[in-house]
């Protein structure tokens, strides 16, 4: 059974982050530049939240606020669900599905070590199933 740490080693996504004092406009620009929809919010390398396009839409646009004057810390999600390197992929997939998360920070103790996407987890799960099917086929056919 593959762990989050092993999956993280094979994906190596760069951690995209923004400071809590950055504007929502800057966060949206960064998400657009990197073609992502969520940023980690880091304050002196410490994970303090996440901000997504949805947070910007609901907490800035729908409330008729200025994206250039609204700080990320005003709209971010400060309760961050995280994964640990030793966690199983199956457990991670369930967690992401239950919480409806597309991206999950991976922390080892208090240290941020990376980010895992739902696409990474899905690919790893399907790859594991393909391998199991191949092994079972070889066993049944005697190859």
pLDDT tens by residue, 60-115: 999 999 999 999 999 999 999 999 999 988 888 889 989 988 889 999 988 999 99
- What single-letter DSSP state applies at residue 80? -
**What is residue 142's predicted lDDT score, i.e. its pLDDT?**
67
> What pLDDT, on a 0 to 100 scale, did the predictor assign at position 105?
94
Kindly tell me the burial class for residue 7, based on how many C-beta atoms sit within 10 Å of its own C-beta (0-12, 13-18, 19 or more): buried
* Residue in this structure with the two tokens 């998400």, named with its chain if needed: 31
* CA 38, chain centre distance (Å): 8
Backbone angles phi, psi at 47, to 5 degrees: -70, 120
pLDDT in tens, 6-46: 898 888 778 999 999 999 999 999 999 999 999 999 999 99
Residue among 87, 81, 83, 94 nearest 116 (CA): 83
Domains of the chain and any CATH numbers: 4-141 (3.10.580.10)
Q: Is the alpha carbon torsion for 98, 116, 113, 55 positive or negative?
A: negative
Task: Kindly report the pTM of this predicted structure.
Answer: 0.81
Q: Which of 64, 61, 54, 55 is nearest to 20 (CA)?
A: 55
Both tokens of residue 37? 């929809």
Residues pairing with 49 in the sheet: 41
Residues ≥6 apart with Cβ < 8 Å to 40: 15, 16, 17, 18, 47, 49, 50, 105, 112, 115
pLDDT on residue 135:
55
What is the pLDDT at residue 84?
93
């Amino acid at each position: 059974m593959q762990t989050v740490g092993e999956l993280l080693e094979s994906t190596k996504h760069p951690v995209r982050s923004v400071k809590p004092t950055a504007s929502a406009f800057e966060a949206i620009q960064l998400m657009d530049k990197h073609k992502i929809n969520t940023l980690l919010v880091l304050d002196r390398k410490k994970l303090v939240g996440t901000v997504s396009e949805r947070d910007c839409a609901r907490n800035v646009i729908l409330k008729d606020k200025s994206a250039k004057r609204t700080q990320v810390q005003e709209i971010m999600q400060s309760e961050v669900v995280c994964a640990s390197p030793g966690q199983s992929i199956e457990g991670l997939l369930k967690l992401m599905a239950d919480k409806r998360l597309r991206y999950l920070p991976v922390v080892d103790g208090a240290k941020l070590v990376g980010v895992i996407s739902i696409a990474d987890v899905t690919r790893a799960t399907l790859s594991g199933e393909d391998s199991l099917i191949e092994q079972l086929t070889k066993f049944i056919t005697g190859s």
